[in-house]
Amino acid sequence: MQDYLILPSLLSADFARLGEEAEAVIDAGADMLHLDVMDNHYVPNLTVGPLVCEALRSYGIKAPIDVHLMTKPVDRLIIDFAKAGATNITFHPEASDHVDRSLALIRQHGCKAGLALNPATSLHCLEYVMDKLDLILIMSVNPGFGGQTFIPSALDKISRVRELVTSHDLTVRIAVDGGVKTENIGQIAQAGADMFIAGSAIFNQPDYAEVISTMRKQLLCAR
The residues that touch ligand DX5, with contacts defined as CB under 6 A, are 9, 11-12, 34, 36, 68, 141, 143-144, 146-148, 177-180, 197-201
**CA separation, residue 193 to residues 20, 61, 72, 222 (Å):** 29, 26, 26, 11
Per-residue contact flags (x/-) with Zn ion for residues 13 to 52, judged by CB under 5 A: -----------------------x----------------
User: 74 near 95, Cβ under 8 Å?
Assistant: yes
Range 161-180, binding Zn ion (CB under 5 A): 177
Of 201 and 219, which CB lies nearer to ligand DX5 in the complex structure?
201
Of 50 and 179, which CB lies nearer to ligand DX5 in the complex structure?
179
Of 9 and 96, which CB lies nearer to ligand DX5 in the complex structure?
9
Query: Is 186 flagged in the annotation as binding?
Result: no
**Gap between the Cα atoms of 212 and 39, Å rounded:** 29
Query: Is 124 flagged in the annotation as binding?
Result: no
Query: Is 9 flagged in the annotation as binding?
Result: yes
Residue 73 binds: one of ligand DX5, Zn ion, none (C-beta under 5 to 8 A by kind) = none
Query: Is 179 flagged in the annotation as binding?
Result: yes
What order of strands is seen across the sheet that includes strand 65-70? 5-8, 195-198, 173-177, 135-139, 112-117, 88-91, 65-70, 33-38
- Catalytic residue IDs: 36, 177
The H or E element that residue 143 is part of is none
Residue 69 binds: one of Zn ion, ligand DX5, none (C-beta under 5 to 8 A by kind) = none
∠134-138-144 over CA atoms, to 5°?
115
